[in-house]
Chains A and B, each alone.
Chain A
Amino acid sequence: MGSHMAARMCRSLGNSVIALWLSMAGLPFAQTLPLATIPSTQVDHGVFVAAGAPGVGAFASALASASIPAGFVVSSEESVLPGTAGASQDASEVCVRMAVDHFLRKHTDYAIARSDWALVVRPRAQTVCDAVLGRLLPDATISDPAYVALWRLARTVNPDGTPAAAPSVVCGSGCDAAEQHHDSHVTLTLSRSSLQEALSQVVSQAPGLVWVLRDERRAGQTGGAAVRICRLSYFDGNRSIATSYVFASVSEGRR
């Protein structure tokens, strides 16, 4: 009975969410969403709770923990910390559509972007990441652990902003030897693929990962103009992983 009711809710709410997404205007990116890309998966109630929490990090982390492939573009004002809102006492499940709807109602400055591979959330306002996300990558096949594949994408898009050495992942705080989703092997087929879709391919093949691009401000060097950069991080379950990969940068005076 409970699952039947939940399924009914998912269908009903899904239609309203779709209508909401399709009705959004003024976004800096193409805004249509195929039905097939809206997850109807049932997830822990904690995802719903996280969707209503302040900031974006709690929801992104909750989606990663629920193995929902997703990506977030985050504005410069937003911190990307996992948060603690996912600890729900409610053992019931909700469908992802409900959680997304809840998130959009609480975070009206964000919207859903079209993606064939993942649930992609982006700010309504323009960010320095917008242009690079739509850039088409050279046709190629990448077959690596997920964290290496992300590095290869960064090297492809902006070799000057990405270290030449192969990456490794280390403890920064309190981590243990629990399962590391970023070790999952992925095979990306890039054929007229945009950066957004390439990143989303990675997380779709490595359940537990959610990519995050953050529009950040860096002070200018030696009195120069400040620079806005688009930097990659990602969630691996409830852990946040920082990289130094800069996909794009713009001098503030030129925006």
Chain B
Amino acid sequence: MVDSYTPGNSIEVSTTYQVDLDADPSGDWYCVLGGSAEFDYTYFLSFSADSQTTIQPRQPQDLKSVPPDVFTYNGPGDYLRTRIWQVWDNYDLPWTYGNFPVTESYAINQNGCNIQIISSNAATNNQGRFQDRYGNIDGSSVITACAQFPACTTQATQTITVAGVSFSHGVTYGCSDVQIARQ
């Protein structure tokens, strides 16, 4: 890492390349070749810096829920909430990049309703937004435990990763609602 330099000076960079070739599996032969080679380069670079910006790490509040937030409720333990998310930048402006990969995972911390939670990959739309759904898969089947334990809850940490930047918040499923809270 070079923090400062004088234009015209040389910077020596050593790069290691991993060569890994896989033959086309539809071909008649299959082989994998492994190897490595080291190359030494000398780069002659010239930069001009017009401004300096400090990039702040993303915070949970940078991931915001955008209306509409649709909530369908038919009976105890039978609901489906739809929420649309968008990432906001340091200047409180929304990211509007489409087709950014969105991955999600859950860690269940307390599971009184014995809920198993589905997650899947998605991508942002052309406005930089993506949709989540919380509750019953088809909106017509109840959470089984609610018949026996009407006050049961399942608390989990949902981690949403947008273009490699992760945001975590708490999600609590109950028999009549789902609550989403900042951490």
Assess whether B114 is in contact with A167, with CB atoms less than 8 Å apart. Answer: yes
Known A82-B103, A168-B143; contact A163-B114, beta-carbon cutoff 8 A:
yes
B170 interface hit (Cβ, 8 Å): no
Interface readout for A19-55 with B: 1 if CB under 8 Å, 0 if not?
0000000000000000000000000010010001000
Assess whether A174 is in contact with B117, with CB atoms less than 8 Å apart. Answer: no
Q: Which of B1-47 contact A (CB under 8 A)?
A: 22, 25-26, 28, 30, 32
A147 interface hit (Cβ, 8 Å): yes
Q: How far is the CA of A80 from the CA of B160 in the complex (A)?
A: 14
Assess whether A170 is in contact with B28, with CB atoms less than 8 Å apart. Answer: no
Q: Which of A32-90 contact B (CB under 8 A)?
A: 45, 48, 52, 79-84, 90
Q: Which residues of A lie under 8 Å from residue B122 when comparing CB positions?
A: 173-174
Q: How far is the CA of A168 from the CA of B173 in the complex (A)?
A: 12
Interface readout for B158-171 with A: 1 if CB under 8 Å, 0 if not?
10100000000001
Assess whether B143 is in contact with A172, with CB atoms less than 8 Å apart. Answer: no
Q: How far is the CA of A96 from the CA of B101 in the complex (A)?
A: 27
* Contact residues of B: prevailing secondary structure: strand
- Of the listed stretches B49-57, B59-67, B89-97, B145-153, name the one at the interface; the rest are far from the partner chain: B145-153
B179 interface hit (Cβ, 8 Å): no
Assess whether A242 is in contact with B22, with CB atoms less than 8 Å apart. Answer: no
B48 interface hit (Cβ, 8 Å): no
Q: How far is the CA of A238 from the CA of B122 in the complex (A)?
A: 11
Q: How far is the CA of A184 from the CA of B101 in the complex (A)?
A: 30
Q: Which residues of A lie under 8 Å from residue B183 when comparing CB positions?
A: none
Number of interface residues of B (CB under 8 A): 53
Within 8 Å by CB of A168, from B28, B102, B115, lies B115
Smallest CB separation, B143 vs chain A (Å): 5
Q: How far is the CA of A166 from the CA of B152 in the complex (A)?
A: 12
A190 interface hit (Cβ, 8 Å): no
Q: Which residues of B lie under 8 Å from residue A164 when comparing CB positions?
A: 114
Smallest CB separation, A107 vs chain B (Å): 13
Q: Which residues of A lie under 8 Å from residue B133 when comparing CB positions?
A: 171, 173-176
Assess whether B25 is in contact with A171, with CB atoms less than 8 Å apart. Answer: no
Report A's interface with B, CB cutoff 8 A. Answer: 2, 5-6, 9, 12-13, 45, 48, 52, 79-84, 90, 92, 94, 98, 102, 105, 147, 151, 163-177, 180, 236, 238-244
